[in-house]
Amino acid sequence: MRTGGIDSSQIQSMIAQLKAHATRPQLTPPVVQTETVAAPKAEFSDALKTALDSVNASQVKSSEMGKRFAMGDDSVSLSDLMITMQKSSINFQAAIQVRNKLVTAYHDIMNMQV
């Protein structure tokens, strides 16, 4: 099934690569902490804003490269442009999927019986 530029076989291939990389043994020994360090609290809104800013940055970069290529800039190759456009497309599609999951979770919570 093909949806929005990515077909399911490509997604499955990417997932398989990530799993293979995750199961690969680490070459560096684990670091043992003797002292507990207070980790700063990660705010959901900050993480979401950072993710959306990175999606926006990739979209802007893709657009700018497209304009430069169309104007005949020799420093931008077609392959670099296509790779940048695909990266921004994947970033955008991932953001849409996260948004859909958040909306679904919100609706599920709102429909819970109290």
Three-state SS string across 61-78, please?
HHHHHHHHHHCCCCCCCH
Q: How far is CA 69 from the centre of its chain?
A: 25
pLDDT of residue 19: 75
Higher model confidence: residue 34 or residue 4? Answer: 34
Phi, psi of 40 (to 5 degrees): -65, 145
Averaged pLDDT of the chain = 84
Higher model confidence: residue 41 or residue 56? Answer: 56
pTM: 0.58
Which residues in 2-58 belong to E strands, given as ranges?
2-3, 6-7
Question: From CA 91, how far away is CA 95, in angstroms rounded?
Answer: 6
Higher model confidence: residue 108 or residue 25? Answer: 108
Mean pLDDT lowest among 33-37, 70-74, 90-94: 33-37
